[in-house]
Amino acid sequence: MTDQFDSLDPELRQIVAEARRPVAMGEGARVRLMQAIRSAPAPRRARLEWVLRPRQIALPPWATVALAAGLVGIGVIGGTLVTDRDGPSAEQPSAVVAGTPQLPDSLVPRTIKFVLVAPAAARVSVVGDFNGWNTSATPMQTRGANGMWTVYVPLHPGLHTYSFVVDGQFVNDPTAPLAPDDGFGSRNSIMFVKGSSL
């Protein structure tokens, strides 16, 4: 028995011929893929991998400045609806929006800073539609005694629902609008991230 196409029965040849025809996926699929690629961290050669292993560290102040300086080419705005209760954030990087040439501005992710003041907390994380509500995916960091917990998260323009998890309890963001009772007995917070064209 040979396995070549020409030696197949005519019926199987027909099946194969049809199966070999190209498949149209629709334009949206490619756009969604490139959107995801562009918001993923850039790959690095293997020898540099150690730098990018996830670690639980608090950012020292010099790193924050370096980050602010280094966030070129990535659109950065404080979320429309996320503000520090206690005043303007000194660490807000300048809004340099280079965007990307091939994606419309409405698809470029924005870096959003989440802030929660919780001086008595031992562990705080943020959960939401951007991390599958995974309570360990996005831990927040605190520095100093003022009880302020923060994390930066890239979010695509659009409506996002989220909550904080403080020592295992779901807590909404006191500085953000509420979503209606979700049927799970709790209310989440809402963040609307604008594309730069909006």
Partner 1 sequence: MRAALRSGALALGLLVWVAGGLGAQDVRELDPLSPLESSYRRSVELLLDSARLAGLPTGPIESKALEGISKKVSGRQIVTVVRDVFRSLLRAQSSLGLRASPAELTAGANALRVGITSVELAHLASTRGSKDLTVPLVVLSDLVTRGVPRDPASQTIFQLWQRGAADDDFLGLWRGVERDIVSGTDPGIALMNRAREIPSRGPPPTTPPAGDRPDDSENRNR
Partner 2 sequence: MSDAADVQRVLDGDVDAFTRLVDRYYERCARYAVRMLGNRDDAEDALQATFLRAYRSLGKYQERDKFSAWLYRILTNQCRSIAARRNHRDRVFIREEALLLNAPDRRQEWNGDDEEFVQRVLAELDPLLREAFVLKYVEELSYEEMSELTGVGVSALKMRVKRACDRLRARWEHIKDD
Interacting residues of 98 by C-beta distance below 8 A, sequence separation 6+: 72, 73, 74, 75
CA distance 15 to 6: 13
* Bridge partners of residue 153, in order along the sequence: 112
Total of chain residues touching partner 2, rule CB under 8 A: 38
Residue 68 beta carbon to partner 2: minimum distance, rounded to whole angstroms: 20
Shortest reach from residue 179's CB to partner 1, in Å: 6
| Cβ–Cβ < 8 Å for 92, 116 | no
Does residue number 30 form part of the binding site for partner 2 (CB under 8 A)?
yes
Residue 21 or residue 55: which is nearer to partner 2 going by CB?
A: 21
Q: Is 181 helix (H, G, I), strand (E, B) or coil?
A: coil
Q: Which residues from 137-176 bind partner 1, rule CB under 8 A? A: 137-139, 141, 151-154, 158-159, 161, 170
Site membership for partner 2, residue 6 (CB under 8 A)? no
Instruction: Work out whether 116 is an interface residue with partner 1 (CB under 8 A).
Output: no
Largest CA distance in the chain: 79
**Closest Cα partner for 78 from 153, 144, 160, 166?**
153
Q: Residue numbers of the site for partner 1 (CB under 8 A)?
A: 40-42, 44, 51-57, 59, 63, 66-67, 70-74, 80-81, 111, 127-129, 131-139, 141, 151-154, 158-159, 161, 170, 177-184, 186-188, 190, 192, 194, 198
